[in-house]
Structure 1
Amino acid sequence: MGKTGIRTANKVSFDKPASEQPSLHFVDINTRTDGIQIPPPKVPFSGTIKNGETVKIECVDWTGGQIGNNDSADDMLNVDLTKIHYLSGPFEVEDAQPGDLLLVEIMDVQPFEDQPWGFTGVFDKNNGGGFLDELYPTAAKAIWDFEGIYCTSRHIPGVKFAGLIHPGILGCAPSAEVLDTWNAREGELIAANKLDRDVAKPPEPINVHAGAANAELKEKVGKEGARTIPGRPEHGGNCDIKNLSRGSKVYLPVHVPGAKFSVGDLHFS
């Protein structure tokens, strides 16, 4: 029997808000009930991937579609930073068990054929800001059009460079014990922070999106689920490594049955 086409394990829609798509989430979907880790299937997987299977996974941009391909920076000015880092998943990987290493091989990363563009954004100092907001306090945006390995921008004429598309976030969900460790460790870090910068984001129920979770579980995830700042060594997460692109292999610790693998936050750099 000949080879079949590559299966799409996750599809996204540009016709509905990311917050209404059950195959997306932006917190690690794990929590506790009476001190006991919630087992599958109460924590919903968005799909299943066979061990060794090659699949295609569609992702939305990190803002969930809040930034448009236009010439106004108003969307950067008003971006809702409680609705960011939408991830595709979590996927059940067949046979994956706690204590395993999940090998993820990135075969290719490409933009959507009908939307071959991305953006560079500067947050307004009064809405997120950045490391250089004292020099650049005003929201700004540049749209970049992809042409093969190159990109150009109508907003920055004369500039053309080659880059790689790569996921900024990929990882497996924490166990309840690992999640407790994160929350304790990062709570201490936040309490000791004397900088005018976020060093970690604690659990935050505002605008939480937990995929296909029901209302009760969504509330628990909002109170306990990990946000994506900072990156964490126990599971991968928000690492923004440019060279994790086509041809890369990533080894991720598995903490829960099925691994609960998620990916998103695509970059071009």
Structure 2
Amino acid sequence: MPELIFPLDSTKPFTAQEKVGHNRWHPDIPAAVTVKAGDSFRVHCREWFDGAIVNDDSADDIRDAPLAGVHVLSGPIAVEGAKPGDLLIVDILDIGPIPQEDSGPLAGQGWGYTGIFPTLNGGGFLTEQFPDAYKAIWDFSGQKTTSRHVPHVEFTGIVHPGLMGTAPSRDLLSTWNTREAALIATDPDRVPPLALPPLPDSAILGSLTGEEFDTVAAEGARTAPPRENGGNQDIKNLTKGSRIFYPVFVDGANLSVGDLHFSQGDGEITFCGAIEMGGFIDLRVEILRDGMSTYGVSENAIFMPGNTDPQYSEFLAFSGTSVTLDGEQRYLDSHLAYQRACLHAIDYLTKFGYSPEQAYLLLGAAPIEGRLSGVVDIPNACATVYIPTAIFDFPIAPSASGPFQIDPGIGAPHSAF
């Protein structure tokens, strides 16, 4: 096993650990640990809400989730000799739930969760159709998972980090805050908001204290979106065996990682759409000198996905175009097209006995394939969503006998404001 450089004790909150991570992006957050190029090491990660979501049959915790405190990230990890302009090569050697802890109160101890976030607390991809909070608990058995809240499905997880990235430079941080503030200003009262500005409340900034803490807390970028440094990209194929090339913006690169997922469908469409968990990740790092200019990677990581994905070979696919539910034509709106494809899949699954919310949770958690299928045939973009048929324990394809009727079980817990 690689050396454990960032340990976490499951009995203690994130801020009481031996090494304290962070939940904001800022170049002045000190590195918690330093490694050398060529080193392999293990990092423990807490699920993104640090234990706020529990294994029960209520969705009150999703409704009331403390969004100001996410994501709790392990790091920063400085790499000796890394300089701005380099590319940091990161190999994912292994990844999984919390080691040797098969049961317990924390996500990752033999279970994980998927949530539909309410519109008043972040929303999701289909928040207009699903404005309330719902939750599904998923139990792990080796690489497979099942849920009492979404019965009659079992699938192999594509375990991956939802969030990994390098620290921004001061100029890049300023660029983020300026452009996101301008976007917020176009509709400052929108619910959910257009972006999340810096927020000192609930900031965790590693070892910083006093005036330094206050300054960084006022400037630090929230970790919710993906940005030029990588960040919360939620790419389900960034799994074991993957190699990622991250731009370096500060001395040491200051790599951070967290938000581990047992599984996820393309898009993580419910916002808390993956199967969230704590766990471990084994990494190896190298430095590619002046790689940003040499390969034209001045922003946004490039990566080589691993080859350990589950081998599903048969799918039922749904398509959508850029026409709203009210019949309004939009011009090549691929975001809308994917929404419509997902809604078509949800409508289809309800014919077998699932509630719309169960179907929505399933699309967020299961290894569905989302594809941008057509972007040139004006005025309609076309997007598709592919659902593996083997994850169901009943026939899912259309047939002359009509939809097989399942028992939907206790359903997905629901909480409204």
TM above 0.5, one fold? Answer: yes
Which of 19, 22, 25 is the equivalent residue of 2:22? 25
- Say if 2:122 and 2:193, in contact at 8 Å, map to a contact too: no
Residue matched to 1:232: 227
Structure 1 residue matching 2:179: 3-state secondary structure: helix
Q: Is the contact made by 1:199 and 1:230 (CA closer than 8 Å) also made in structure 2?
A: no
Q: CA deviation at 1:23?
A: 2.5
Name the SS for the 2:34 alignment partner: strand
CA contact (8 A) 1:124 1:139 kept: yes
How far the C-alpha of 1:139 sits from its partner, in A, is: 1.9
Question: How far is 1:18 from its partner?
Answer: 2.0
SS for the counterpart of 2:93 is coil
- Residue from 166, 175, 197 that aligns with 1:172: 166
Structure 1 residue corresponding to 2:256, chosen from 256, 262, 269: 262
Q: Partners of 2:2 and 2:246 in 1: how far apart?
A: 23
Secondary structure in 2 matching 1:105: strand
Question: For 1:224-264, what per-residue CA distance to the aligned partner results, in whole angstroms no more than 9, with x for missing partners?
Answer: 1111233112x111111111111111101111111110001
Residue 86 of structure 1 pairs with residue 72 of structure 2? yes
> Could you say if the C-alpha distance between residues 160 and 232 of structure 1 is closer, same or farther in structure 2, counting changes exceeding 3 Å?
same
| Native 8 Å contact 2:74 2:257 kept in 1 | yes
Q: Deviations over 1:57-76 (max 9, x none)?
A: 11000111111122222211
> Is 1:135–2:129 an aligned residue pair?
yes
- Structure 2 counterpart of 1:119, from 91, 113, 126: 113
Change (3 A) 1:198 1:231: farther
Question: CA contact under 8 A between 1:105 and 1:249: conserved in structure 2?
Answer: yes
Task: Give the partner amino acid of 2:20.
Answer: S
The range that moved more, 209-218 or 241-250, is 209-218
Take 1:44 and 1:239, find their aligned partners in 2: how far apart are those partners?
A: 23
- After superposition, the Cα gap between the structure-2 partners of 1:86 and 1:179, relative to the gap in structure 1 and judged at 3 Å, is same
Unaligned runs of 5+ in 1: 32-42
Q: Does 1:160 align with 2:146?
A: no
Q: Does 1:70 align with 2:56?
A: yes
CA-to-aligned-CA distance 1:74-112 (integer Å, 9 cap, x gap) = 211221111111110001111111111100000111001
1:193 Cα offset (Å): 4.8
Superposed displacement of residue 131, structure 1: 3.1
Q: Is the 8 A contact 1:6 1:55 kept in 2?
A: yes
Aligned length: 253
Larger radius of gyration: 2
* Cα separation, partners in 2 of 1:162 and 1:193, compared to 1, 3 Å: farther
1:208 is matched with: 203
CA shift, 1:203, in A, is 1.1
User: Matched residues in 2 for 1:48 and 1:188: separation?
Assistant: 36
The structure that is helix-richer by fraction is 2
Identity %: 46
Aligned to 2:2: 6
**Paired residue secondary structure (2:211):** helix
Query: Aligned partners of 1:44 and 1:74: how far apart in 2?
Result: 36
More displaced stretch, 175-184 vs 124-133: 124-133
Q: 2-side partners of 1:252 and 1:183: how far apart?
A: 21
Query: Structure 2: how far apart are the matches of 1:19 and 1:82?
Result: 15
Name the aligned partner's letter for residue 58 of structure 1: H
Check whether the contact 2:26–2:219 (CA below 8 A) recurs between aligned residues.
no
1: CA distance, partners of 2:173 / 2:210: 21
CA RMSD of the aligned region, Å? 1.8
TM-score normalized with structure 2 length: 0.58
8 Å CA contact retained: 1:123, 1:130: yes
Of 131, 139, 143, which residue of structure 2 is paired with 1:145? 139
Structure 1 segment 89-108 matched on structure 2, within 5 A: 89-108=75-94
Give, as a single letter, the amino acid of the residue that structure 2 aligns with 1:191: A
Quote the residue 1:35 is aligned against. none
| AA partner of residue 127 (structure 2) | D
| C-alpha displacement of 1:196 | 4.4
